């Protein structure tokens, strides 16, 4: 099993450009998450999906959109990138609810917005 | 409001010495408790978790943690650290009466002195 995979690993954007971060899991998990990690701020939840077809905002959703394409895939879109979105982005998944089950993380995407 | 505090941003320990990383939470009930580790350039991995029962929990890589209800703490310990333990450690709390929302601490970076 590959676990949680993310593409791309690195990306550099100019302000105003758009891009989609892809995430897939092969563990048949119901819940999937997008986090951003900034120095000294730990992990902040952007969006999560408790099941296929549902998505909910997390702590810092502004400037992002998500799509739960199917049970395996959960993508994160930046419509108009801003320098404040420079961060490391992690996708994660779990069998059940976020605070009740182990979360499995992907390797991350390091995004720089110039 | 519910919160998780990891009071130490950085901790430096000599190889072979013992380690204790602190985690305190603010929550009215007994939560689910997690410790995750993030090695440099990688995603997070679960070290151990506490849901109920024995308050001393064993995890991977020789780590253990003790839940102390009276102190609202879940401190992580290891009797003898190895250079490979250098990483960032995150405590997280699952709020069982708030739809299992997960609250993350800001992390503690462990530096190992040779």
Q: What DSSP assignment string belongs to A9-53?
A: SEEEE-TT--EEEEEEESS--SEEEEEEE-TTS-EEEEEEESSTT
Selected residue with higher pLDDT from B16 and B114: B16
Residue A30: phi and psi, rounded to 5, are -80, -40
Nearest CA in chain A to B4: A42
Regions in chain A scoring below 50 on pLDDT: none
d(CA A64, CA A55): 12
| Interface with chain B: mutation pick from A9, A38, A42, highest number of B CBs within 10 Å | A42
What integer pLDDT is reported at residue A41 of this predicted model?
82
pLDDT tier at B61 (50, 70, 90 boundaries)?
very high
Nearest by CB: A42 against B95, B99, B105: B105
> Hey, is the C-beta of A58 within 8 angstroms of any chain B C-beta?
no
Provide the number of CB pairs (under 8 Å) joining chain A to chain B: 58
d(CA B64, CA B43): 21
- Asked whether the beta carbons of B74 and B57 are under 8 A apart, the reply is no
Nearest CA-CA partner of A42 in A83, A90, A9: A90
Nearest by CB: A42 against B46, B94, B107: B107
Rounded mean pLDDT of B105-113? 95
């Amino acid at each position: 099993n590959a676990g949680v995979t993310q593409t791309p690993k690195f990306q550099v954007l100019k302000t105003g450009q758009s891009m989609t971060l892809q995430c897939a899991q092969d563990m048949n998990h119901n819940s999937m998450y997008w986090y951003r990690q900034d120095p000294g701020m730990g992990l902040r939840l952007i969006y999560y999906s408790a099941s296929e077809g549902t998505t909910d905002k997390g702590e810092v959703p502004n400037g992002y959109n998500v799509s739960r394409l199917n049970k395996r895939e959960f993508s994160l879109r930046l419509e108009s990138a801003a320098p404040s979105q420079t961060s490391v982005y992690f996708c994660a998944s779990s069998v059940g609810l976020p605070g009740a089950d182990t979360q499995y993380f992907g390797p991350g995407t390091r995004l720089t917005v110039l | 409001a519910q919160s998780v505090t990891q009071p130490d941003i950085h901790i430096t320990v000599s190889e072979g010495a013992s380690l204790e990383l602190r985690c305190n939470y603010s929550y009215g009930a007994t939560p689910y408790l997690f410790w995750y580790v993030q090695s440099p350039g990688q995603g997070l991995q679960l070290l151990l978790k506490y849901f109920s029962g024995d308050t001393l929990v064993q995890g991977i890589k020789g780590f253990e943690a003790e839940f102390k209800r009276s102190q609202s703490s879940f401190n992580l310990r290891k009797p003898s650290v190895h250079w490979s333990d250098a990483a960032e450690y995150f405590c997280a709390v699952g709020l069982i009466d708030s739809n299992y929302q997960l609250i993350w601490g800001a992390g503690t970076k462990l530096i190992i002195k040779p």
